[in-house]
Structure 1
Amino acid sequence: MNAIFGLVSDTAASAIWAMVVASLLPLAMALTAKMFGGFHLADNSHPRDFLQNTTGAAARANAAQQNSYETLPVFLAAVLVAMLFFVPQLIINTLAWLYVLIRIGYCVAYITNLATFRSILWVLSIACCVMLFYLAIRVSV
């Protein structure tokens, strides 16, 4: 059975795919930072030094990469805890994919230097994680 106009499945595979996509988002931001920064194969001997010396959109994409790594463990834990405590799968999937979509928007806002919008999206993405933890607590009581 599909919900939300067939966009979100009610199987656990959907949440797992959301975790995979969220886990690949930092890599996508690293590649974006390198592309915007003019990365060459010769820079691969010290890629962190290269990224540290970028400016503008490349530096912001690198910062989005770092923030994506920072929030990823919270998201992964929230999804797994919600699944462990049998929060309804459709709710888990919806919040998981909402997190992913918000994080993509966050990265775009970061790269395009929309600081206030970026901060709002960050709060909303963390709210998805908090909601998953909250629902797991409610189900376990």
Structure 2
Amino acid sequence: MNVFFGLIPDTAASAIWAMVVASLLPLLMALSAKALGGFRLTDNAHPRRFLQETTGAAARANAAQQNSYETLPVFLAAVLVAMLFFVPQLIVNVLAWLYVLIRIGFCIAYISNLATFRSILWTLSMACPLMLFYLAIRVSV
């Protein structure tokens, strides 16, 4: 069965793809930070220093990158635990892709300097892995 007009299949591959996309999001934010900050090939000698010295949208993209790395382990663990404890795959997939979509919105809000909206999206994104952990606990009891 497909949900959301056939966009999210009920196979484990869908959750795995969500994990891949979520894992690539910090890289996308790093590239965005560098592009917005005017990164040049000569800056590659000290890329972290370059990113620390950026301001405005570039600095916010770098912060979005860092936050993406901070939340990623919780998300990856939650998806794996939910699958390990046989939470229905369709539910795992929906929550996994919802996390990814919310995190993309979070990054856009961060770069756009929409602080309150960004905080709301962060909270909603963290609700997805927490719900996966909760469901895994419920299934295992």
Q: Shift of the alpha carbon at 1:3? A: 1.6
Cα distance in 1 for partners of 2:49, 2:5 equals 46
**Per the alignment, in what secondary structure is the counterpart of residue 9 of structure 1?**
coil
| Structure 1: segments with no counterpart, 5+ residues | none
Rounded to whole Å, the distance in 1 between the matches of 2:69 and 2:128 is 16
Q: Secondary structure at the match of 1:113?
A: coil
TM-score scaled to structure 1, two decimals?
0.99
Sequence identity (%): 84
- Write the mapping of 1:1-141 to structure 2, written as runs, cut at 5 A: 1-141=1-141
Question: Aligned Cα RMSD in Å?
Answer: 0.4
Question: Which one-letter code corresponds to 1:30 in the other structure?
Answer: A
In 1, distance between residues paired with 2:39 and 2:3? 42
Residue 33 of structure 1 aligns with an amino acid whose one-letter code is: A
Q: C-alpha offsets along residues 60-118 of structure 1, whole Å, 9 cap, x if unaligned? A: 00000000000000000000000000000000000000000000000000000000000
Distance in 2 (alpha carbons) for counterparts of 1:91 and 1:6: 14
TM-superposed CA distance for 1:5, in Å, is 1.4
**TM-score normalised by L of structure 2:** 0.99
Q: CA deviation at 1:2?
A: 1.3
Amino acid paired to 1:16: I
Question: Could you report, residue by residue, the CA deviation over 1:28-55 in whole angstroms, capped at 9, with x for unpaired residues?
Answer: 0000000000000000010000000000
Structure 1, 1-10 or 64-73: larger mean CA deviation:
1-10
How many residues align? The count is 141
Q: CA deviation at 1:126?
A: 0.3
Distance 2:59 2:90 in 1: 37
What is the identity, as a one-letter code, of the residue corresponding to 1:47?
P
Tell me the amino acid that sits aligned with residue 15 of structure 1.
A
CA distance in 2, matches of 1:135, 1:100: 19
**Counterpart Cα distance in 2 of 1:34 and 1:81:** 35
Cα deviation, residue 4, structure 1: 2.0
Q: Which ranges of structure 2 fall in alignment gaps of 5 or more residues? A: none
